[in-house]
Structure 1
Amino acid sequence: MELVSQFTEDAYAKEDRICERPTCATKILKGDPCFYIATIDPNKPGRFVCGSCHSRYQKKAATSVRPSSRNTGFHMPDTDQRPPPRPLPDLHGIRRSVNAAQRTATINPPRVVATSHGLQGSQSGPSGPIVAIPTSSSWNQTSHGLGVGYTANHAAHASQREYWSKLSYTMGSHAETISLNISAVHDAGPKRKGSCGTPISNICEGKKDIHAQIDAPGLIEIALNTILPKILALSPAFTWRTSQFIVRDAGWVDLSTHPANRPYFYSECWHASKRGGKESKVFKSKQFALTVVVPESQWLEYQEWLEKTEEESHHLAHRDVVAHRDVVTPIEEPVMTCKRVHQRSDSIPISALSGGLSPPHKKLAASSAFCTPSPDREDLKQALRIGGTVNLDVKQLLDLQNKNIQYYPIPTRPLSVMLKNAKFLSYDIETVECLMGQLTINPSMPSMLGAGTFKTAHPGWLTLFSPPLSGLGYQTRHEVAVKRAYYKAVLPGTSTASLKFKIGRYALADEVPRLLKEGNVLYWAQSLLQLTYDFINRSITSASELPPFEIPQVRFVDAGLAFAFGPLPAPKAGSSMTNSARAVYLVEELIPGRKGEFVKYVHNMDSNPLLEKSDDGYDLALFFTFTQHVQHIKTWGLAFISDYQGGSELLTDPQILTHPTVSQGKDIFGDGNIEGAVSKFEKQHSCNYYCEWPGFGLDPFTKLPDASVSTDDADI
């Protein structure tokens, strides 16, 4: 809406009327303020409103104020008559004038300027904004060499367009990157076969995530920024002329001859690919080699400077040594001294080396030899005497056996998990992961770790091709104890009770079940020991106070079965090869320490410590008998671990003893299962301070409970 100013006599109603604002319709009495409001569209009539509506229109942001003058063609002879619509400007005439002027002028038309005078030839008075079209002569007037309406910023249009064009041309997808392998060589001296230069001090650096569309100048900048600090670090005192260095690619092409603003390696990253039966090209990131080449003349100059510097350093060091010998000073005790030599500017501080720079040339360090004191004569004589001989047991080295194996680790599972799955009730190689590897064995008799009742143990090393994160074989050449089953082969003419016998080996078909049974005993021993520690931890957590003793932390060794495979003989006609296994081994984690540190704490024939009170390890033996007490209670008198032996932290070769009602006359858990020991446990076992601590709640044995036999460990 537009507010039009009126004469005083026009601002009051001459008679009663209604406010023409649709939402108001208030009665305007004669003599009350009455205002005329024009519309934005001049073809539509305005409206007469009351004073309050007029004030409202004045406050609206969309309302404009247009002065009314009788000289402008606007006339209100009477407030009862509406003003006639104003004539529109001749837009068609303006358009013709502008087009005619542009055809004879420059391509930069001037801005339209509003003037106070009217258009020539206009027959009627102006009824809108007066627009003057500049003539063609005025279009040629410029400001600072530019057309009318342009500023000095427009002068940089050409350079800005070139800059952004180059930038948009070189930019691409951020995923399209390459990597660089940058090295330094020189042209002087002999060159390796297939090489165009001689490497400089093994200087080689890598760069990744380089934009694939980088041009040659960008590659030169990256190569020089990477390699120059390392070349300058060789001898900071030497004046390198880095402007003469040349950057070449793998084809020995000088990158400085390649034009800028063109990707250098980008085209080599596109490869043909077939997807969905259609041939297309895909981008694949690659690594490219760049070489910073030091010219031959400059490198020879550097070598001459290096030799000259070395001679000067040698001369100065020799002069200082002679001067030191000529000075006689009273010395109370013979003290080995070394005169401090002034540090030259061409030496490299330690901080520079720690910052990733290459070490100095070997020739620069030669002068420091004059300050190195001579070793003691007797010490040197002894070192030469020992170091001059090579003590190598060649026979033992040649006797080492290397076996390609399939390794089946023995897992550790809680008893509750074993009871829920019938497949987990025994150690079965079908339920564990098979790992390929190599086993090295030292089978010599002097190196034997020991021989028990059923097995021999030799040192060895286990290497698995896909090592696990933990356990046996997680590291290369893991030291192990390699065990095999054996029997005593009595020599002819001697009795079976004789101590002289040979170690006999079983056939593979007989040895596999024996070692598999040994692995199963270890499998159950790990589970029962974990059952014991669960009971201990829960009892201590729920107790009102901590026990007055430390709980020993022990475990059984990690182990597994290894089947060795050898080369198969040539098959005969009409025959088929069935199995290539040659031997089976029980591979165990090696217990550290000497042979004398291997202790047997509890025998499988007794439920009390095998050691005396004065023996080392007696307290640990008491703890093992306490674990038997706990296992006897938690299994309802059906089973417990016996034959505890090994070190102070790692145990091996246990036995599982079961109640006679468990086996039902069958051979279970091997020959070491003395079933009578379980029946007599309550009578033979003597409780110790572990058993008697109130926090564990273990009562002295009276008799077995009448409840049915169960192995449920849910109350642990």
Structure 2
Amino acid sequence: MAEYEIISQFTEDAYAKEDRICDRPVCRAKIRKGDPCFYVATIEPGQPGRNVCAPCYSHYKKNPATSVRPTRRTEQLRPFASAQGSNNDRVAPDMRAIQQSVNAAQRKLTINPPPVVAMPRRTAGPDIMIPTSWQGSSWQGSSQSTGPPWPGQGSSNGPIGYSSQHALYATERERWAKISYATPPAETILIEISAVHEGGGRKKRGVPIGNICEGKKGIDAQIDAPGLIELALDTIVPKLQIFGGGFLWRVNEFIVRDSAWVDLSNHRRSVAYFYDQCQQLSRKGSKTTTFKSRQFALMVIVPETQWIEYENWREDAEMNAARIGQRPACKVITPQVPSSVQSSVDLESELGTAQTNDGATTSDNVRSNILPTTTVTTSTKRSHQHTHSSSSFDIPSPPRKRDVAPAALCSPDRDRLKEVLRIGGGTNLDMKQVFGRQSERIHFYLVPSRPITDLLLDKYHSFSVDTAEWSMGELIVDTSPQGLIGVGGFKTAHTGWLTLMAPPKIGPGSVAHDKIVVKRPYHKVFATPTTTTGPYKIARYSLVDELSRLFKEANVLYWAKSLLKLTYDFIDRCVASSSEPPPFPIPRVRFVEGGLALAYFQGDRKPGGKTGSTRAVFLLEEFIDSDGEDFVKFIHNMDANPLIDYDKYGYDLAVFFSFTQHIQYAKTGKLAFISDYQGSTTLLTDPQILTHPSVSDGHLDIFGDGNIETTVSQFEKEHICNKYCKWPAFGLEVYTSGEEEDELEACADGEDGPEAYADGEEEREN
């Protein structure tokens, strides 16, 4: 078993550091200091091994039950070799055998293997990197070493592969073990460190420097004053250097003080500075104290003289930068010349530059005799340049500007002011309007705008709260009579204000406190169950029915926006491809942005109401600011033609909406179009989608109760094509075009008046 060794630590090269007893129970022999001492591990990882003597090691090595592993040694060491043994006692490897084996292996791998040359035997141990902290040790392994020799040796030369530096292993291991396994201090404090400079008067001892402030937590409460000074300087000085730019701070002049302006450098070393202030009585009346963490403040003080130097340096740097980049290095101040002198100078300049006896020009003499001299001096303290002027006469100061008289105070009209005082002073708060405002915590789901091609995809067939953009927010509803906008056939509309936490780019809630319209469905409750006319009361549906109805309203708006986009895409494409522009303007309208709002219980205000559960549902829509325009219903869902007369406001727009129905009917394959066009001339609301009877396939609840399917099935018979439908560039099939429609269009265009239309009616009757 020459190629195996026992699983152990430091086998042949281990020696006893002191006298000890062999750990083998049957031996218990004494191992003297410097004799071989072997460590043999046990088969159980959790149990410690044994340090045994040389005979016991031989016993374990010969025991068949001892686990062995292959050795990586390239040379056989004689067991139990003495520490004083020479390197010549070791058996050298057979170089010829190595060369033959390597050559044989290479001949199998390549055709022309490189020659193998036996390297000389390395007698020294491995190269070991020694930490720089050990270089100053007295044990250098040289002839000048004065330290104790290697254990078990008479000189400083250790076993092969080791040097005298390895003797420091135990000391270094103990030192690093203490650092590694040291528990963090249980008693810590918080310290806030800031930078200030001296000044600010007696009450204000220091002035903060910029925003330089840093907090430190987990500081050992036993830290002394020198430790606090080092901590404060290490924290603040780097920040102060960044703040000062290129200024050279003299850190050795800085002073570290506490909040009471006490200089920490005068405090004793190795005495906890803040620890006593953290002690407090454990309980009232008790004499024992306990530690309680606190926060303390330290300030790094910049002396006043050094701060003045910094300010001068900064001012000089700013002035140098300004002179280089904006103005010349020397600025000469030219004094003001009196008007009489200036006129004479101008006269001489106009007469020319006549030469005098001394060779100077006349104009030069005039200027030299009249104009004051100007000299430039430079301050020695700073690089500021000052100008001084001297003159043989006094220069008058310019005349002062005459003060402009303030505008006359305009008193208000007495009669008007009296009326306003009477109205403004006698106004009272409308309690019903204030108490009628209802606040709701909601989740708002915006109805998106998607092209018809996206609606053909599976997840976009209909409006869904799963795919819609949503946000949390607050809704305020004005339920007072003043906040009621109107009552329709199926819904009520109130004024509201919406604020969302994540506002969308467009639509309700895009701005804070956005004014909107709040709609809810209702049903009429008459005086008796058999009565269907007369006065009635507004009653709300149950939560399930209300949610179902408003979801259908949101889904109808979802499809209406898509069909209207399809209509304008068709119009724009036809107009762009036409050689001539259309003979009529194309109105541009859109449907309001809207969405569903689910309100939740904010508390157990109702028996059985669970906090956080859904309480009510609202349909929120963009507020239509009509600027005085009337709310108009242009087309009814039971007809495919304009609902209003030709001489009424908005008739031409109603004709255009009838034309859009023609486009939608044709582009959807005669399956669907939008009806119930209503709103203003720019914004539309409450649309209805009408579908062909083949779409419902026996289901009666397609797009709600307003879906009159017969309107679609009879569209070609009832729709009267107008000027939009007949324009050749659109290429639409003309279904019905009577003379009456042509005359109505002519009247709407202003070609004939109402009298002409009346005459036409009489002629047809005759």
Shorter-chain TM-score range: 0.3 to 0.5
Greater RCO (Cα-Cα under 8 Å, separation 6 or more) = 1
